[in-house]
Amino acid sequence: MKRLALVALGFVALAGCASSPGGPMGGPGGPGGPREPMPGLFVSPFGELFFSEPGQPWPVVDWFAGADTDSDSRITLEEFTADGARYFQTLDRNRDGRLTSEEIAVYEEALAAARARLPGAQSREQRPGVRLQGFRSDLNLGLAEPAPQQQGRRRPERAPTGPLGYGAVATAGFFNYPQPVKAADTDMNQTITAQEWEQATGRWFIALDQNRDGALTLAELPRTPLQQLMERERR
Ligand SMILES: [Ca+2]
Ligand SMILES: [Ca+2]
Ligand SMILES: [Ca+2]
């Protein structure tokens, strides 16, 4: 199981950089070399990046604690919205209420740096034939129209590498977005308005509030595929 997890992790990570076949033979993290401990990465529903050192709690707790401003272990829609608005303001560097391509480019630099912090993204070995369970289909609630499921058989509707094939950033969030901020750009005009952000915020909250009680708890939130993989690796 442990070996499978390691191989699978390499599979996931490499999906984000298909042109990098792996590290040097025998080098750290490369084929035959020692495995490096990986930092934890959690990508919030709003695309904010949270890291943790190996052995530390999965960084979803850092996002949660920050968003749960009254510390009652529940993130209400109001708190969720405020967290999203805060991050929007961080991204909106010129404070004009819109995220434009220049501001999005700055964010994408942070995504690239995040990928680079996961050693697996550069060096873990990919092997064919490894398939992992992807995202729970019920998290599509409130998002884009899910593809109709055919009875008894699901056709892969994504890249041939499977539901985890969108790379390390996608696996570190709840919604499998390789570029989470752009997911709010509903009209796809390369600009995200405050209104689009607000509407996306509502969709994401509904998708995550699985028991429909108007608040998110840590227990209710799904473990991301990256978290699942890392936990399997530690066993
Ligand atoms: Ca709260
Ligand atoms: Ca702006
Ligand atoms: Ca837009």
**Mean pLDDT for the stretch of residues 35-40:** 78
pLDDT of residue 120: 63
Rg for the chain (alpha carbons), in Å? 18
Q: How far apart are CA 200 and CA 44, in angstroms?
A: 13
**235 pLDDT above the threshold of 90:** no
Torsion sign across C-alpha atoms 221, 222, 226, 227: positive
Cα of 88 to ligand 2 centre, how many Å? 9
pLDDT of residue 230: 86
Ligand nearest to the CA of 69: 1
Cα of 100 to ligand 2 centre, how many Å? 6
pTM for this prediction: 0.72
Place of tokens 């890291």: 51
Phi/psi at 144 (nearest 5 deg)? -60, 155
pLDDT of residue 171: 93
Phi/psi at 153 (nearest 5 deg)? -155, 125
Q: How far apart are CA 156 and CA 149, in angstroms?
A: 10
**Mean pLDDT for the stretch of residues 115-142:** 48
Domain ranges in the chain are 2-234
Ligand nearest to the CA of 197: 3
**Mean pLDDT for the stretch of residues 9-33:** 42
**33 pLDDT above the threshold of 90:** no
The per-residue b/e assignment along 206-235, b for 16 or more CB within 10 angstroms, e otherwise, is ebbbbeeeebbbeeebbebbbbbbbebbee
Cα of 168 to ligand 3 centre, how many Å? 25
Give tens-digit pLDDT for 6-15.
Answer: 444 444 443 3
**Mean pLDDT for the stretch of residues 197-219:** 97
- Identify the CA nearest to 137 among candidates 183, 175, 167, 182: 175
The pLDDT mean for the chain works out to 76
Which residues contact residue 18 at a Cβ distance below 8 angstroms, ignoring those fewer than 6 apart?
none
Cα of 70 to ligand 1 centre, how many Å? 5
Cα of 49 to ligand 2 centre, how many Å? 20
pLDDT of residue 193: 98
The bridge status of strand 192-193 relative to strand 98-99 is antiparallel
Count Cα atoms within 13 angstroms, Cβ side, for 103.
20
pLDDT of residue 58: 96
Long-range contacts of residues 209-214, Cβ cutoff 8 Å, at least 24 apart: 210/138, 214/76, 214/77
Least confident of 93-107, 145-159, 161-175, 216-230: 145-159
**Mean pLDDT for the stretch of residues 58-67:** 98
pLDDT of residue 35: 63
pLDDT of residue 119: 64
**Mean pLDDT for the stretch of residues 123-134:** 38
> Using N-to-C axis directions, what is the helix angle for 2-14 and 225-234, rounded to 10°?
150
pLDDT of residue 122: 37
Least confident of 3-7, 40-44, 85-89, 113-117: 3-7
Q: Say if residue 38 is exposed, middle or buried (CB neighbours under 10 Å; 0-12, 13-18, 19+).
A: buried
**Under DSSP, is residue 216 helix (H, G, I), strand (E, B) or coil?**
strand
Ligand nearest to the CA of 217: 1
pLDDT of residue 36: 67
Ligand nearest to the CA of 67: 1
Least confident of 27-31, 72-76, 96-100, 154-158: 154-158
pLDDT of residue 183: 96
Better-predicted residue by pLDDT, 167 or 71 = 71
Cα of 186 to ligand 3 centre, how many Å? 6
